[in-house]
Structure 1
Amino acid sequence: MVRLVDRLHGDEGSAAIEAAIVLPSLLMFLCLAIAGGRIVTSGSKIDSAAQDAAREASIHRTARAAQGATRSAATESLDDQGIKCTSTAVRVGTSGLSVPVGQVATVTATVTCTVSLSDLLLPGLPGAKTLTSTATSVVDRYRQRGEW
Protein backbone atom coordinates (compact mmCIF):
# COMPACT_ATOMS: atom_id res chain seq x y z
CA MET A 1 0.00 0.00 0.00
CA VAL A 2 1.34 3.43 -0.95
CA ARG A 3 1.52 5.84 1.89
CA LEU A 4 0.18 9.38 1.63
CA VAL A 5 3.59 10.83 2.47
CA ASP A 6 5.18 9.01 -0.49
CA ARG A 7 2.53 10.39 -2.81
CA LEU A 8 3.07 13.98 -1.70
CA HIS A 9 6.84 13.82 -2.10
CA GLY A 10 6.92 11.82 -5.34
CA ASP A 11 8.10 13.42 -8.57
CA GLU A 12 5.56 11.95 -10.97
CA GLY A 13 4.37 14.61 -13.42
CA SER A 14 7.24 17.01 -12.79
CA ALA A 15 8.62 16.49 -16.30
CA ALA A 16 5.32 17.66 -17.79
CA ILE A 17 5.33 20.76 -15.60
CA GLU A 18 8.94 21.54 -16.52
CA ALA A 19 8.13 21.15 -20.20
CA ALA A 20 5.11 23.43 -19.85
CA ILE A 21 7.31 26.10 -18.31
CA VAL A 22 10.40 25.76 -20.54
CA LEU A 23 8.86 24.99 -23.94
CA PRO A 24 7.22 28.42 -24.57
CA SER A 25 10.50 30.15 -23.69
CA LEU A 26 12.43 27.94 -26.09
CA LEU A 27 9.91 28.55 -28.86
CA MET A 28 10.13 32.33 -28.37
CA PHE A 29 13.93 32.13 -28.43
CA LEU A 30 13.80 30.10 -31.65
CA CYS A 31 11.44 32.61 -33.28
CA LEU A 32 13.70 35.50 -32.21
CA ALA A 33 16.71 33.70 -33.71
CA ILE A 34 14.84 33.16 -36.98
CA ALA A 35 13.73 36.82 -37.04
CA GLY A 36 17.29 37.99 -36.39
CA GLY A 37 18.60 35.71 -39.12
CA ARG A 38 16.00 36.97 -41.57
CA ILE A 39 16.87 40.60 -40.81
CA VAL A 40 20.63 40.05 -41.15
CA THR A 41 20.30 38.00 -44.34
CA SER A 42 17.87 40.48 -45.87
CA GLY A 43 20.16 43.37 -44.93
CA SER A 44 23.12 41.87 -46.75
CA LYS A 45 21.00 41.13 -49.82
CA ILE A 46 19.67 44.71 -49.82
CA ASP A 47 23.28 45.94 -49.59
CA SER A 48 24.03 43.90 -52.70
CA ALA A 49 20.98 45.30 -54.50
CA ALA A 50 22.08 48.86 -53.66
CA GLN A 51 25.56 48.14 -55.02
CA ASP A 52 24.07 46.70 -58.22
CA ALA A 53 21.85 49.75 -58.60
CA ALA A 54 24.72 52.20 -58.05
CA ARG A 55 26.91 50.38 -60.56
CA GLU A 56 24.09 50.39 -63.10
CA ALA A 57 23.60 54.14 -62.64
CA SER A 58 27.31 54.82 -63.03
CA ILE A 59 27.52 53.30 -66.51
CA HIS A 60 24.76 55.48 -68.00
CA ARG A 61 25.47 58.83 -69.61
CA THR A 62 22.33 60.73 -68.59
CA ALA A 63 20.50 61.11 -65.30
CA ARG A 64 17.19 60.10 -66.88
CA ALA A 65 18.60 56.85 -68.25
CA ALA A 66 20.32 56.17 -64.93
CA GLN A 67 17.07 56.66 -62.96
CA GLY A 68 15.18 53.98 -64.87
CA ALA A 69 18.08 51.57 -65.01
CA THR A 70 18.73 51.92 -61.29
CA ARG A 71 15.18 51.02 -60.32
CA SER A 72 15.09 47.98 -62.59
CA ALA A 73 18.55 46.80 -61.45
CA ALA A 74 17.59 47.00 -57.77
CA THR A 75 14.26 45.23 -58.31
CA GLU A 76 15.88 42.51 -60.40
CA SER A 77 18.64 42.00 -57.84
CA LEU A 78 16.14 41.65 -54.99
CA ASP A 79 14.05 39.20 -57.03
CA ASP A 80 17.10 37.13 -57.99
CA GLN A 81 18.12 36.85 -54.35
CA GLY A 82 14.66 35.80 -53.19
CA ILE A 83 13.85 38.87 -51.09
CA LYS A 84 10.12 39.53 -50.87
CA CYS A 85 9.70 43.19 -49.95
CA THR A 86 6.25 44.43 -49.02
CA SER A 87 7.37 47.83 -50.33
CA THR A 88 10.50 48.92 -52.17
CA ALA A 89 11.89 52.39 -52.83
CA VAL A 90 14.97 53.25 -54.86
CA ARG A 91 16.57 56.70 -54.86
CA VAL A 92 19.56 57.61 -56.95
CA GLY A 93 21.83 60.63 -56.77
CA THR A 94 23.03 61.32 -60.29
CA SER A 95 24.79 64.64 -59.80
CA GLY A 96 28.06 62.92 -60.69
CA LEU A 97 26.84 62.41 -64.24
CA SER A 98 26.87 66.18 -64.83
CA VAL A 99 30.52 66.63 -63.81
CA PRO A 100 32.80 67.53 -66.76
CA VAL A 101 34.77 64.77 -68.43
CA GLY A 102 38.16 64.25 -66.80
CA GLN A 103 36.97 64.86 -63.23
CA VAL A 104 36.25 62.14 -60.72
CA ALA A 105 32.56 61.74 -59.93
CA THR A 106 30.27 59.29 -58.15
CA VAL A 107 26.64 58.27 -58.17
CA THR A 108 24.78 57.03 -55.12
CA ALA A 109 21.87 54.59 -54.93
CA THR A 110 19.71 54.04 -51.86
CA VAL A 111 17.44 50.99 -51.67
CA THR A 112 14.74 50.78 -48.99
CA CYS A 113 12.89 47.50 -48.49
CA THR A 114 10.26 46.52 -45.94
CA VAL A 115 10.70 42.88 -44.92
CA SER A 116 7.72 41.07 -43.39
CA LEU A 117 8.18 39.36 -40.02
CA SER A 118 4.53 38.75 -39.20
CA ASP A 119 4.66 35.15 -40.45
CA LEU A 120 6.93 34.17 -37.53
CA LEU A 121 3.99 34.27 -35.10
CA LEU A 122 6.01 35.74 -32.25
CA PRO A 123 3.89 37.75 -29.82
CA GLY A 124 4.93 41.38 -29.66
CA LEU A 125 7.10 41.21 -32.78
CA PRO A 126 6.26 43.96 -35.26
CA GLY A 127 4.80 42.88 -38.56
CA ALA A 128 7.63 44.29 -40.68
CA LYS A 129 11.11 45.78 -40.53
CA THR A 130 12.26 48.50 -42.93
CA LEU A 131 15.87 48.12 -44.06
CA THR A 132 17.82 50.76 -45.98
CA SER A 133 21.14 50.46 -47.75
CA THR A 134 23.18 53.05 -49.65
CA ALA A 135 25.98 52.33 -52.11
CA THR A 136 28.25 54.59 -54.14
CA SER A 137 29.88 53.83 -57.47
CA VAL A 138 32.54 55.80 -59.31
CA VAL A 139 31.72 57.21 -62.75
CA ASP A 140 34.37 56.60 -65.38
CA ARG A 141 36.47 59.77 -65.50
CA TYR A 142 36.85 59.82 -69.30
CA ARG A 143 33.44 58.56 -70.35
CA GLN A 144 31.30 61.00 -72.32
CA ARG A 145 28.38 62.37 -70.33
CA GLY A 146 25.10 64.06 -71.06
CA GLU A 147 23.04 64.17 -74.23
CA TRP A 148 24.98 63.82 -77.47
Structure 2
Amino acid sequence: MNQVRCTARWARRLRDDEGSAAIEAAIILPALIMFLCLAIAGGRITASGAKIDAAAQDAAREASIHRTAGAAQGAAQAAAAESLHDQGITCTSTSVAINTGGLNVPVGQMATVTATVTCTVHLSDLLLPLPGERTLTATSTSVVDLYRQRGEG
Protein backbone atom coordinates (compact mmCIF):
# COMPACT_ATOMS: atom_id res chain seq x y z
CA MET A 1 0.00 0.00 0.00
CA ASN A 2 2.83 2.32 0.87
CA GLN A 3 4.55 1.38 -2.36
CA VAL A 4 1.37 2.15 -4.37
CA ARG A 5 1.13 5.63 -2.83
CA CYS A 6 4.78 6.30 -3.53
CA THR A 7 4.41 5.14 -7.13
CA ALA A 8 1.27 7.28 -7.62
CA ARG A 9 3.01 10.35 -6.18
CA TRP A 10 6.02 9.74 -8.44
CA ALA A 11 3.76 9.39 -11.51
CA ARG A 12 2.01 12.69 -10.64
CA ARG A 13 5.35 14.46 -10.42
CA LEU A 14 6.42 13.10 -13.79
CA ARG A 15 3.20 14.35 -15.41
CA ASP A 16 3.34 17.71 -13.65
CA ASP A 17 4.18 20.61 -16.02
CA GLU A 18 5.52 23.00 -13.39
CA GLY A 19 8.63 24.75 -14.66
CA SER A 20 8.29 23.68 -18.29
CA ALA A 21 6.94 27.10 -19.34
CA ALA A 22 10.00 28.78 -17.88
CA ILE A 23 12.29 26.40 -19.75
CA GLU A 24 10.41 26.97 -23.01
CA ALA A 25 10.62 30.74 -22.50
CA ALA A 26 14.35 30.53 -21.79
CA ILE A 27 14.85 28.69 -25.07
CA ILE A 28 12.50 30.72 -27.30
CA LEU A 29 12.88 34.24 -25.87
CA PRO A 30 16.50 34.90 -27.01
CA ALA A 31 15.62 33.80 -30.55
CA LEU A 32 12.58 36.09 -30.60
CA ILE A 33 14.61 39.04 -29.30
CA MET A 34 17.29 38.44 -31.94
CA PHE A 35 14.64 38.29 -34.68
CA LEU A 36 13.09 41.53 -33.41
CA CYS A 37 16.49 43.27 -33.38
CA LEU A 38 17.18 42.14 -36.95
CA ALA A 39 13.77 43.42 -38.07
CA ILE A 40 14.46 46.80 -36.43
CA ALA A 41 17.93 46.92 -38.02
CA GLY A 42 16.47 46.22 -41.46
CA GLY A 43 13.82 48.89 -40.98
CA ARG A 44 16.37 51.49 -39.90
CA ILE A 45 18.64 50.74 -42.86
CA THR A 46 15.66 50.96 -45.23
CA ALA A 47 14.54 54.26 -43.70
CA SER A 48 18.07 55.65 -44.01
CA GLY A 49 18.15 54.54 -47.65
CA ALA A 50 14.96 56.50 -48.26
CA LYS A 51 16.55 59.58 -46.70
CA ILE A 52 19.58 59.19 -48.99
CA ASP A 53 17.14 58.93 -51.94
CA ALA A 54 15.54 62.20 -50.86
CA ALA A 55 18.97 63.86 -50.68
CA ALA A 56 19.76 62.67 -54.22
CA GLN A 57 16.41 64.04 -55.46
CA ASP A 58 17.09 67.38 -53.80
CA ALA A 59 20.59 67.54 -55.30
CA ALA A 60 19.37 66.66 -58.83
CA ARG A 61 16.54 69.19 -58.68
CA GLU A 62 18.82 71.93 -57.38
CA ALA A 63 21.39 71.22 -60.11
CA SER A 64 18.73 71.24 -62.84
CA ILE A 65 17.61 74.78 -62.08
CA HIS A 66 21.08 76.33 -62.47
CA ARG A 67 22.41 77.59 -65.78
CA THR A 68 26.04 76.53 -65.62
CA ALA A 69 27.71 73.26 -64.68
CA GLY A 70 29.88 74.96 -62.05
CA ALA A 71 26.93 76.57 -60.31
CA ALA A 72 24.97 73.32 -60.55
CA GLN A 73 27.78 71.32 -58.91
CA GLY A 74 28.06 73.67 -55.95
CA ALA A 75 24.32 73.98 -55.47
CA ALA A 76 23.82 70.20 -55.66
CA GLN A 77 26.55 69.58 -53.08
CA ALA A 78 24.97 72.10 -50.72
CA ALA A 79 21.45 70.74 -51.28
CA ALA A 80 22.52 67.17 -50.56
CA ALA A 81 24.39 68.17 -47.40
CA GLU A 82 21.44 70.23 -46.16
CA SER A 83 18.96 67.46 -46.91
CA LEU A 84 21.04 64.86 -45.05
CA HIS A 85 21.46 67.21 -42.09
CA ASP A 86 17.74 68.07 -41.98
CA GLN A 87 16.84 64.38 -41.95
CA GLY A 88 19.28 63.57 -39.16
CA ILE A 89 21.72 61.47 -41.18
CA THR A 90 25.34 61.81 -40.08
CA CYS A 91 27.71 60.50 -42.74
CA THR A 92 31.29 59.59 -41.97
CA SER A 93 32.00 60.22 -45.64
CA THR A 94 29.78 61.75 -48.30
CA SER A 95 30.19 62.11 -52.02
CA VAL A 96 27.89 63.81 -54.48
CA ALA A 97 28.51 63.15 -58.16
CA ILE A 98 26.61 65.31 -60.63
CA ASN A 99 26.26 64.64 -64.34
CA THR A 100 25.56 68.11 -65.75
CA GLY A 101 25.79 67.13 -69.42
CA GLY A 102 22.18 68.21 -69.86
CA LEU A 103 23.12 71.82 -69.20
CA ASN A 104 25.16 71.85 -72.42
CA VAL A 105 22.22 70.77 -74.59
CA PRO A 106 20.74 73.60 -76.70
CA VAL A 107 17.61 75.33 -75.45
CA GLY A 108 14.45 73.63 -76.68
CA GLN A 109 15.87 70.10 -76.51
CA MET A 110 15.14 67.56 -73.78
CA ALA A 111 17.90 67.46 -71.16
CA THR A 112 18.45 65.94 -67.72
CA VAL A 113 20.81 66.28 -64.79
CA THR A 114 21.67 63.25 -62.65
CA ALA A 115 22.88 63.26 -59.05
CA THR A 116 24.38 60.30 -57.19
CA VAL A 117 24.73 60.63 -53.43
CA THR A 118 26.87 58.14 -51.50
CA CYS A 119 26.86 58.22 -47.71
CA THR A 120 28.71 55.95 -45.28
CA VAL A 121 27.02 55.74 -41.89
CA HIS A 122 28.01 54.01 -38.67
CA LEU A 123 25.43 51.38 -37.78
CA SER A 124 25.48 52.70 -34.21
CA ASP A 125 24.26 56.07 -35.59
CA LEU A 126 21.14 54.27 -36.82
CA LEU A 127 20.36 53.36 -33.19
CA LEU A 128 21.56 49.82 -33.72
CA PRO A 129 23.80 48.13 -31.17
CA LEU A 130 26.02 46.88 -34.00
CA PRO A 131 29.60 47.74 -34.90
CA GLY A 132 30.61 48.63 -38.42
CA GLU A 133 29.52 50.88 -41.23
CA ARG A 134 27.14 50.71 -44.14
CA THR A 135 27.51 52.60 -47.42
CA LEU A 136 24.23 53.75 -48.94
CA THR A 137 23.97 55.10 -52.48
CA ALA A 138 21.08 56.74 -54.32
CA THR A 139 20.76 58.21 -57.80
CA SER A 140 18.13 60.61 -59.04
CA THR A 141 17.52 62.39 -62.33
CA SER A 142 15.80 65.72 -62.84
CA VAL A 143 14.63 67.26 -66.10
CA VAL A 144 16.09 70.60 -67.17
CA ASP A 145 13.45 73.13 -68.23
CA LEU A 146 13.26 73.04 -72.05
CA TYR A 147 13.24 76.81 -72.54
CA ARG A 148 15.40 77.99 -69.66
CA GLN A 149 18.53 79.80 -70.80
CA ARG A 150 21.68 77.72 -70.28
CA GLY A 151 25.15 79.00 -69.81
CA GLU A 152 28.49 77.56 -70.75
CA GLY A 153 30.86 75.80 -68.44
TM band (smaller chain): 0.7 to 0.9
The normalised TM-score by structure 2 is 0.83
Does residue 1:70 correspond to 2:76, yes or no? Answer: yes
Residue ranges of structure 1 left out of the alignment (5+ in a row): none
Question: What does residue 121 of structure 1 align with?
Answer: 129
Question: What does residue 58 of structure 1 align with?
Answer: 64
List per-residue Cα deviations over 1:106-147 (Å, max 9, x = no partner).
11000112233345336xxx7333221111111122222225
- Corresponding residue pairs, total: 145
Does residue 1:37 correspond to 2:22, yes or no? Answer: no
Identity within the alignment, % = 74
Q: Report the alpha carbon displacement of residue 43 of structure 1 after superposing the two structures with TM.
A: 1.6
Question: What does residue 12 of structure 1 align with?
Answer: 18
Which stretch of structure 1 is more off in the superposition, 44-53 or 7-16?
Answer: 7-16
The normalised TM-score by structure 1 is 0.85
Over the residues paired in the alignment, what is the CA RMSD in angstroms? 2.2
Q: Report the alpha carbon displacement of residue 102 of structure 1 after superposing the two structures with TM.
A: 2.2
Q: Report the alpha carbon displacement of residue 83 of structure 1 after superposing the two structures with TM.
A: 2.0
Q: Report the alpha carbon displacement of residue 85 of structure 1 after superposing the two structures with TM.
A: 2.6
Larger radius of gyration: 2
AA in 2 matched with 1:140: D
Residue ranges of structure 2 left out of the alignment (5+ in a row): none
